[in-house]
Amino acid sequence: MVVGDIGRSTEWRPALASVDTVIHLAARAHVLHDTDEASALYEETNALGTLCLAKTAAESGVRRFIYLSSVKVNGEETSDRAYTAADEPCPRDAYARSKWRAELHVRELGAATHMETVIVRPPLVYGPGVQGNMARLAELARSPYPLPLASLKAKRSLLSLDNLVEAIAKVLDAPSELKRPFIVADPEALTIGEMIMAMRHGLGRRGGLFPVPNPVLKAALQALGHAETYRLFAGSLVADSSALGQVNWQPAMSTRDALAVLMQGPKDRNAP
């Protein structure tokens, strides 16, 4: 069923007739610059669009509303410990702030109605057709050249599509009410170099990494106009998904195996 653009006035009622559970995954992303215009676009789709859907869902008798938010609601980097869903939110950019406002709308509706609301915060999600930073990382992995990434020690959490699907399935099947946010992430946070090695393993190749002092790598990327790339390479963002043990979720795949599978292309799921 096609509903058109998602915003504050989207008509959801025909799509919600006789629906028991809503899983809200759609969002605006990848608006490149943190401008007033970008903030308005994020607000319309991610915050007000979610409010419209959740309000209509409650009015339509939906029992459980699952909202896919983002670990960026917690912040951009971790230092001494991993993010948990119990941490004080600290969204830093327009996208993250719009997702946080959407969470608040969902929580308020959950408190004011009989609809159960569940918020799930993933880090970067990857799978077939992935875009953005993970697509660029995959391009690096496919390149034939050795890469100067062996000295980077910061770790980042990721989430494979298969592991996300399993987590949502567990939330769907949970017998009790879940009025709290959850973080969901692959089991192991990896350095950028470890991600590249796992991807190249999926391509049947060796890692091909060599060390370069971090200040040298930073200066080189800045000179090439990629200062933001260095921040992503050198900054840690580790997420703790242990609270999902409440619904007996266990990741279906390890981080390294899921990255290797990503590089092997789509599989025929009907094949023997």
The alpha-helical segments, DSSP class H, found in the chain are 13-16, 36-42, 49-59, 94-112, 132-142, 161-173, 192-202, 214-223, 227-234, 255-262
Q: What's the mean pLDDT when you consider all of the chain?
A: 91
- Give me the active site residues, please: 95
SS3 of residue 209 by DSSP: strand
Q: Where do the domains of the chain lie, and which CATH numbers do they carry?
A: 1-121 (3.40.50.720)
Note the pLDDT of residue 124: 93
- Say if residue 161's pLDDT is above 70: yes
Complete DSSP assignment for 101-167: HHHHHHHHHHHHSS-EEEEEE-SEEE-TT--HHHHHHHHHHHSSS-BS-TT---EE-EEEHHHHHHH
Of residues 185, 191, 165, 190, the one with CA closest to residue 240: 185
Strand partners, 156: 190, 237
The arithmetic mean of pLDDT across residues 122-127, rounded, is: 94
The structure tokens listed for 228 are 């933001």
pLDDT the model gives residue 34? 66
* Residues 35-79 pLDDT 10s: 778 889 999 999 999 999 999 999 999 999 999 999 999 999 998
| pTM for the model | 0.90
